[in-house]
Structure 1
């Protein structure tokens, strides 16, 4: 332990090691033959990082420890963006735009990949060549530290991506492996012939079948086949090697000491490989996350982990902790299922499948939170479970096909303007790109498009967790018509839903739809004053009484709130008995979104087309 540490710092560090060492060892034991030796290395790294951590960040650690639910609170709203497409320039420009984010109620800012990637193509920055530097066009690590300092001063936390499954083939580890360094070659899975790759690929699904078929790439310098789940230029690292774990632990600690408060663990589901499986969601994934989190808790407990696990509904909750990992892995996880079901309900004009599917998810640990969202930077894959579909009388394959047809605008009567991304001819899967406004049909013949955009956001804002706005969606921006004209983008239509914001003279971005902008701003204000939306309160999805109305109850000691969402283009209703069963008095209930009493008729609450109500 560094002798320079003052006594009060040494006391804190000793207490944290005592507290978190059991979790660390429990996580490492399933992974490595000598977990104690690996733990010793990791504690030494954490100790050095703790000693180097500046006083302002130690103070942040104390505040977060005293208020561990800070990220679960109802006044936390998130925003996600590419720095240069949001602010027009670099990290300094993002700092200058913070007042706009503050006006939206944003407390959590996720900037898409800012660490130095390999040369194009680089998967939008997710092929990282250097975890210790910032893209030159965005600034420096000192600029990153300054941005986090600015955000902390406004009560905001910065989230950055940490790609765990792979690195760019230009990363220093990959270059050393190519040059013949045996230690660095062991950071990857390399095979001299096709015998083992063929055995693995017998059960491996293709992530990008049209852009990057197969899961292995031949490299002349390696004289072997290297594992490349996503793209040929993204080499999967081998987490079964404890040196790889220690390398990533150091990266985590370094970013935390720059003031980053949330790390999005990109592609976490793919990190552990097991022959004969799809190499996703393996039990060791959760063990290694627990161990990595324990290291961070020793040195920088203000840091949160967010699992980027876009997986099937049955596997999702494990990323927040189940069984022996309950509450010990990621603090946040994407509620991909909610996003998929929102769009499914809108296309089908029916909430029965969505209600059933959401009811199947176990309640996550009360110390964690979902990230809820209408859109993100990625395409939408239609994660409709065949069992859920069958339970409500649907064919899962047919429904997924319908959703792809609807949101690409190919289905008769569709108002959507999405783009097909990643079509797999073998399975029939077609994913969809497009902004929320484009998918909801703004700018088309349908006058109800704005209402659909606002309804979708009301669902995710009222579900609990941290609702995150995707940059431009709060402005009703449509697809970027020039997305293919930028270098390196022509083969990836996801850039259509990553539009650049245009800033006006008032230092606010120019909306395509002022009505959407006003509606989203109203949602953020309403949410911040409703304690029932604290993430520790589980959302309870009720059986729908009207098949087109999603019902979500949030039962809290201060009283229950019922979210009612009409996903149909015509009026619908909620029987008053639903309110009475929840302890809500129909004569006294008000809609929190407007402050007004709902319309009552025929012993039911009446909902206008695409109307959302938060009844309290």
Structure 2
């Protein structure tokens, strides 16, 4: 597209407003977003030097739009006219590894009835595209963005699966590893063969001068297994930036060609029938000497540019921010200031996840209450993914000033949490592992399945019914929170049947150095088969409890995410209380994080709108709430969903 064509488009848009001319759907979206696309592009790339690349980008947009399958284009248009489907109370997700869930893509399709029965209609499939053999960071070292790894099947298998998912009104999310490629990716191969053009797609240097300047302020992501942020490549005889692992090369988005090429890769993924694109490691996208190269303004501009272009080509597809960063930084990935709402429509609520684990360890909700009430409100058209566990480790991204205000020393408190979950406190029932402990600053993360971290593994070993019951209540309570808090609940496959830690990774040479595999188990279909036969087993109790809560969520429009949540500062620091509001209807969720019964006074309950007569019921039991001497008791780890009838 040249300047004359661009002028014609803008003129036509102006005339259309006056009713003189009709533009195609594509031209309308391009005209609406064009000003912002241009602004964002030239704020990253100097106009004088890179003007030709801007017109290359416009041509690319048209080509990518024309390449979009017609049925997906029709779906895009339908979604433009149907509101924000991703904020609905009907959404309930599951994250899974296809091969560990049921062998391959065809095996996954066979299990759609199981997912439907539980109430799952949104699937995050871990990477299924080609990757290096051996170590590949669980598929996040990509050899291709759209070719299906033969281990999982063929592209035709996936297209058949995505079509079946659409027929079932089931939404799909796949990862777009936007920060890096594997060292076997075609660009990296050409770079290693000596192509300066493709070496410029990455951060490559002939000596250590610039890498050493970067290292002064760059943190280490994997200090134990991959210390430092640069690796020497013998083929190129150069240093290449590898912030994650030596086989994952960071992309150089200072080069506009990289952005344009990656936009094409993004659409190749979307055209497989994907509804949500998970932007992996997006906080790292822009690198700058003298900074941590995380959460930089240019990274936000780049994400906004991706979104504006995606809205032109495929407006029915949305973006998820995988930004596991401090709470005040997470909120920014929705977009802020003049660009509010112009980045990702969805983001992981990593703060809530970490705070839930904090409350389990401390038996108090006070840090969670203070933290969530101090985070700015997200844009009205955005939503969260709320989760307890995922394929990754648990990072303790608390805000130090809020930790201090709650009465804790930040360093000592983090050490306590790590010790509680990683086997260093004899009285703790948690069975987790320390991940990537950094002795330089005492930082570390936690791995383990939800059930093992919440004490079920220990309880079963001890055959202690009391502790087993506590663990079951904790598992259900945390899931109850993610199902009722504002956003899309995401259940990690296996958690719905209380799967314990999987220690078999220790015998696998490709996994032994990454203990995150302890919480990446094979789905136990034998346990699933016995759910209705052994109803007193923890797996059955948890599965049936989750199934009931998912149904209740979908039955109440109050759980749609319209920024309609109010978190209360509760007089009892062990109880977490929030209200979901929909016009004149409300549901209050109360969760006791203590191992003893806690109470709330009738006066406080009335002050937040909860009636205390026989017409006020707990939706989970269907029974009226009962007060004892004007106090509402909550048993250990009990949760109530209270509704005034």
Residue 22 (structure 1) aligned with residue 35 (structure 2): yes
Indicate how the Cα distance of structure 1 residues 507 and 51 shifts in structure 2: closer, same or farther if over 3 A, else same: farther
**Cα distance, 1:108 vs structure 2:** 1.1
**Cα distance, 1:338 vs structure 2:** 0.5
* Partners of 1:36 and 1:472 in 2: CA distance: 51
Note the 1:544-583 alignment, pairs <5 A: 544-583=570-609
Tell me, yes or no, if the aligned pair for 2:182 and 2:248 is still in contact at 8 Å. Answer: yes
* Partners of 1:589 and 1:29 in 2: CA distance: 58
**Cα distance, 1:94 vs structure 2:** 1.0
Note the 1:133-282 alignment, pairs <5 A: 133-282=147-296
Match of 1:598 in 2: 625
**Cα distance, 1:10 vs structure 2:** 6.5
**Cα distance, 1:454 vs structure 2:** 0.7
Match of 1:53 in 2: 68
Decide which structure has greater helix share: 2
Note the 1:99-498 alignment, pairs <5 A: 99-445=113-459, 446-447=467-468, 448-498=470-520
Tell me, yes or no, if the aligned pair for 2:205 and 2:240 is still in contact at 8 Å. Answer: yes
- 1:466-518 CA-to-partner distances (Å, cap 9, x unmatched) read 00000100110001131222340111111111110132498798986211111
Tell me, yes or no, if the aligned pair for 1:465 and 1:534 is still in contact at 8 Å. Answer: yes
**Cα distance, 1:537 vs structure 2:** 2.5
Q: Which moved more, 1:403-412 or 1:342-351?
A: 403-412
Greater Rg over alpha carbons, structure: 2
TM-score, scaled relative to structure 1: 0.95
* Partners of 2:517 and 2:155 in 1: CA distance: 26
Indicate how the Cα distance of structure 1 residues 173 and 393 shifts in structure 2: closer, same or farther if over 3 A, else same: same
* Partners of 1:85 and 1:271 in 2: CA distance: 30
Tell me, yes or no, if the aligned pair for 1:598 and 1:606 is still in contact at 8 Å. Answer: no
Residue 608 (structure 1) aligned with residue 635 (structure 2): yes
Indicate how the Cα distance of structure 1 residues 509 and 419 shifts in structure 2: closer, same or farther if over 3 A, else same: farther
**Cα distance, 1:582 vs structure 2:** 3.2
Indicate how the Cα distance of structure 1 residues 512 and 82 shifts in structure 2: closer, same or farther if over 3 A, else same: farther
Aligned length: 609
Unaligned residue ranges in structure 2 (runs of 5+): 2-20, 460-466
Residue number among 542, 560, 572 corresponding to 1:516 in the alignment: 542
Q: Which moved more, 1:432-441 or 1:382-391?
A: 382-391
Tell me, yes or no, if the aligned pair for 2:145 and 2:266 is still in contact at 8 Å. Answer: no
Residue number among 1, 10, 31 corresponding to 2:44 in the alignment: 31
* Partners of 2:51 and 2:572 in 1: CA distance: 57
Residue number among 96, 103, 108 corresponding to 1:81 in the alignment: 96
Tell me, yes or no, if the aligned pair for 1:72 and 1:535 is still in contact at 8 Å. Answer: yes
Tell me, yes or no, if the aligned pair for 1:42 and 1:249 is still in contact at 8 Å. Answer: no
Match of 2:58 in 1: 43
Note the 1:519-534 alignment, pairs <5 A: 519-534=545-560
Note the 1:60-75 alignment, pairs <5 A: 60-75=75-90
* Partners of 2:413 and 2:223 in 1: CA distance: 21
Q: Which SS does the other structure have where 1:414 is aligned?
A: coil
Question: CA RMSD for the aligned pairs?
Answer: 1.9
* Partners of 1:451 and 1:569 in 2: CA distance: 10
Match of 1:537 in 2: 563
**Cα distance, 1:142 vs structure 2:** 2.0
Tell me, yes or no, if the aligned pair for 2:612 and 2:625 is still in contact at 8 Å. Answer: no
Match of 1:5 in 2: none
Q: Which SS does the other structure have where 1:79 is aligned?
A: strand
* Partners of 2:633 and 2:335 in 1: CA distance: 39
